[in-house]
Amino acid sequence: MSSVQKIAHHIRNKRYSAQEVVSHYLEMIERYDVSMNSVTRFLKDRALYAATKVDALIAEGKDPGPLVGVPFGVKDLFDVKGEVTTAGSKLLSQNNPANQDAKVIQRLCAAGAIPVATLNMDEFAYGFVTDNEHHGMTHNPHDFSRFAGGSSGGSAASVGGGILSFSLGSDTNGSIRVPASFCGVWGIRPTYGVLPMQGVYPFAESFDRIGPFCQSIEDLKTVFNVMAEVTTNTSFPSISSLRIGQLAGWFERDVDQDILDAIQEIVRCFSKQGKIDLPHIEQVRAASYLMTASEGGKLHLPNLRTKPMEYDPATRERLMAGALLPVSSYLKAKEIQFWFQQYLDNIFKEYDLLIAPAVGSIAPQIDNPVVFVDGKPVSARVNLGIYTQPFSMSHCPVLSVPIHRDGKLPIGLQLIAKPHQEQLLFAVGSLLEKNGIAKATIIQRNKVL
């Protein structure tokens, strides 16, 4: 695998030119993405032009930035200058091209990174499987018969599939955490307000977050810090002295034993630990589902009234249902959200971190699209987020931790911290990666790097 830092190092030291690296990654995408279907559009002309500028700066003895020449992809709801932001839809495909990049893309490009492709997603980010009526299904890079997860499936699959070293996605109810787990990569849902949403097409604005997918925790930290404009290093006490709470009850039901075992292995790294059975978690999850449906439905209501047939039927039905929800139901759900946030505030007086599964099993098979809730089979498309949705009701940052298993498909966990504690999550993730407990599962490609 070629890390973000390794690519930047080689370009900065003139082992390879940025043009060589970008051309190589474009060729890899063309060759290997046929089976995964993670990419919706190539940004070839822009990418090669940007690479020539990077090479020129290096030739002049200048440093283009910490991500010098690193190719990356973006979920197709980020504005890319000169491209139409479709959010995976037919409805928006006739809109005018964006006149500037999304704010986080501007920051990444200023640090030397080069966008090379837009990536597949569930239409309007409403789903957990990346089954797009217009662009097709994105397949899991480790088993093409299984889901990549969603709605940022193209972003996760491209990194897990080894054709990009990092990508951007969004997370409303688990759209970073679910596909990161199924595709075996690192991801993060940041604290509310830490990353700018300017130039990102919304789903449910009070829930939406954006974040990167990466092949290693150090890459994740590097890319995130550029996106968040973090310039200082934060020191922490010994990780082993931190207090970790293992979420039980709801977060143990319908969860494969391998995932529970992985949680236990991580918990044992900490000297102070405990089990927590969060009360009313079913209601919290239901409130999250209701609020996002309502916000999304209200956003799309004008087009649902005038252009309903331009929506994917599965998306249309759920958005319509959300638009019809009474305000009183939304306000009741909002009360549950406020209670849950207050409850978590009290929990974090006793614990520094919480740990929970991100998914209950390996990725489901495409021809058997079900997961289990209370032992009963239900639709995977709308229920894969049962363990991620509750924490979308908080302002907490959540790290998606990949667990590699030789000969088996990857799984993933959630590490949850207090708001604005992303650097703590990176420090813990680094310890887990160094100890071999957490590791990305990346398809190895024929690379020049």
Is residue 146 a contact partner of residue 180, using CB atoms and an 8 Å limit?
A: no
Active-site residue identified among 2, 3, 23, 75 = 75
**For the CA atoms of 345, 346, 348, 349, what is the dihedral angle to 10 degrees?**
130
Give the containing element (helix H, strand E) for 274: strand 272-276
- DSSP reduced 3-state for 40: strand
- For residue 79, give the amino acid letter: D
Q: What are phi and psi of 29, to 5 degrees?
A: -60, -45
Is residue 117 a contact partner of residue 99, using CB atoms and an 8 Å limit?
A: no
b (16+ CB within 10 A) / e for 275-291? ebebeebeebbebbbbb
Is residue 89 a contact partner of residue 311, using CB atoms and an 8 Å limit?
A: yes
Active-site residue identified among 3, 23, 89, 151 = 151
Is residue 433 a contact partner of residue 151, using CB atoms and an 8 Å limit?
A: no
Structure tokens at 416: 């949850």
Task: Let me know if 155 is a catalytic residue.
Answer: no
Active-site residue identified among 175, 288, 392, 394 = 175
Task: Let me know if 75 is a catalytic residue.
Answer: yes
Task: Let me know if 328 is a catalytic residue.
Answer: no
| DSSP one-letter string for 369-410 | -EEEETTEEEEHHHHTTTTTHHHHTS---EEEEEE--TTS--
List, in sequence order, every residue forming a beta bridge with 117; answer none if it has no partner: 42, 73
Give the containing element (helix H, strand E) for 235: none
Q: Which residues are catalytic?
A: 75, 151, 175
